[in-house]
Structure 1
Amino acid sequence: MSESTPRPPGEPEDPYNPPPSPGPPPQEPYPQQPYQREPSQQPAQPYQQPIGERPVGEPPAGEPSFYAGAASSAADVARNDTKGFFGALFDYSFLNYVTPKVVKIVYVIVTVLIALGWLVALVAAFSNSVWAGIGFLLFGWIIALVYLAIARITLEFYLAVVSISEKVNHYARRDGML
């Protein structure tokens, strides 16, 4: 049990501000800045221009820009993407991927095929009976949209895998592993 001064009934106890302890507070010598090194142990600071003398957003002199690596890697990717569709299609070393070049065309073809399939099914439903045609007209588009969404998700998955593979290969070439 902890010993504390009794409080009158009805007065809540504040756990964050405990009551002052009886007696004088302890006087311990605390340093002004507890983790400061001795002046002889201070590392030498490189010269930096005062903030007023350099333009806002530019790094200090001798320090590379934060975006320099991103710009060079984007330029490398653009340089490596010089083969066209047929060049990538007949690249038997598989160093260039054809998926990013084909995915838009495949999605357009899949969209057209799903729309044509929906129209054929609509005509077939109306030729069966009027009520079947009306039912398919009201709810058949949902099935077509589900198929379109599945096709889109599948194409995005393939594109993401290829994108990850391109980045891994780029880093492997940069680090001398390929």
Structure 2
Amino acid sequence: MSTPYSDPYPPSHGGPAGQSSPTGTEPAGAPNPFSKESGFFSALTDLRFTKFVTPKVVSVVYVLMAVAIAIGLLMWTITAFAIMATGDGEASAILIGLLMLVAGPIVALLYLVLARVSLEGMVAVIRIAEDVAAIRRR
């Protein structure tokens, strides 16, 4: 997150011939390529890559990753029980199954943390780019 700061240069309210922009910091009619108001499909079809799609889809991607990790954990758990059941009571099969049952949730949690940190890093880079573009427009 960015912290608010005081702007040493107050916005100009008058442009050429007394025109003013809606925000007071840019010329009237100047496009804002990094505006958050652009739609998903508009950003997706932007061939100049001036609009970002990542902030719009990151929550969906995170949910899909969490679901995939949960399905993987479920399959891992089923496999652990299958190994214990088909081991004919051998100690090694039971031990391997129990180790899988203990390790599965730990590995799934690590994957979820790694996915979250990766997505947060991507969003942070995009927000930095948006903030730099906003500073450049001043």
TM-score between both structures, scaled by the size of structure 1: 0.52
> How far, CA to CA, are the matches of 1:169 and 1:94 in structure 2?
13
% identical aligned pairs:
41
Name which one, 1 or 2, has greater alpha-carbon Rg: 1
State whether residues 123 and 133 of structure 1, in contact with CA within 8 Å, keep that contact through their aligned partners in structure 2: no
| Equivalent position of 1:140 in the other structure | 104
| Greater helix proportion | 2
Structure 2, unaligned runs of 5 or more? 1-5, 11-22, 25-31, 86-93
| Equivalent position of 1:165 in the other structure | 129
Paired positions, count:
102
| Amino acid across the alignment from 1:156 | E
TM-score between both structures, scaled by the size of structure 2: 0.65
State whether residues 122 and 137 of structure 1, in contact with CA within 8 Å, keep that contact through their aligned partners in structure 2: yes
| Amino acid across the alignment from 2:78 | V
Q: How big is the shift at 1:135? A: 2.8
- Runs of 4 or more above 4 Å deviation: none
| Equivalent position of 2:13 in the other structure | none
| Equivalent position of 2:82 in the other structure | 127
| Equivalent position of 1:103 in the other structure | 58
Task: Look up the SS of the partner of 1:80 in the other structure.
Answer: coil
In the alignment, which of 112, 116, 123 is matched to residue 152 of structure 1?
116
RMSD: 2.4
Q: How big is the shift at 1:116? A: 0.1
Structure 1, unaligned runs of 5 or more? 1-65
Higher relative contact order (CA 8 A, sep 6+): 2
